Amino acid sequence: MIKTKKFDVINYLKTEKDIEEYLNVVLEEGDYKYLPVALADIARARKAMTSAAKAAGVTRTNLYQSLSEDGRPAFETVAKVAQSLGYRIALIRESTPRPVQAIHC
């Protein structure tokens, strides 16, 4: 009988380079709902969930729920957690911007 363990990405987030590569992959994929999940993974890997919850102004339990795949955290929560982990969120203009469709009211 083969014994298996449930996959947990935090087992592979050993160095800052690992963490940065993980964040870059999550962002490059373009499915931004996984950014909060990735931040939770990083906080767990660094054993920093309690300090991240304090920075976000929520309980640790609420932060786990908020940063889960089913969570819908406020942008402010995501930004505060990122900051508590040593990151900041920045918007950088693309060199060749995509056309924007007009919004009609």
Q: What DSSP assignment string belongs to the chain?
A: --------GGGG--SHHHHHHHHHHHHHH--TTHHHHHHHHHHHHTT-HHHHHHHHTS-HHHHHHHTSTT----HHHHHHHHHHTT--------SSPPPPPPPP-
Query: What pLDDT digit, counting tens, does each position of 75-95 carry?
Result: 999 999 999 999 999 988 888
Per the prediction, the chain carries an average pLDDT of 92
The structure's pTM equals 0.83
pLDDT exceeds cutoff 80 at 6: yes
63: pLDDT confidence band, cut at 50, 70 and 90?
very high
Local confidence band at 105 (pLDDT 50, 70, 90 cut-offs): low
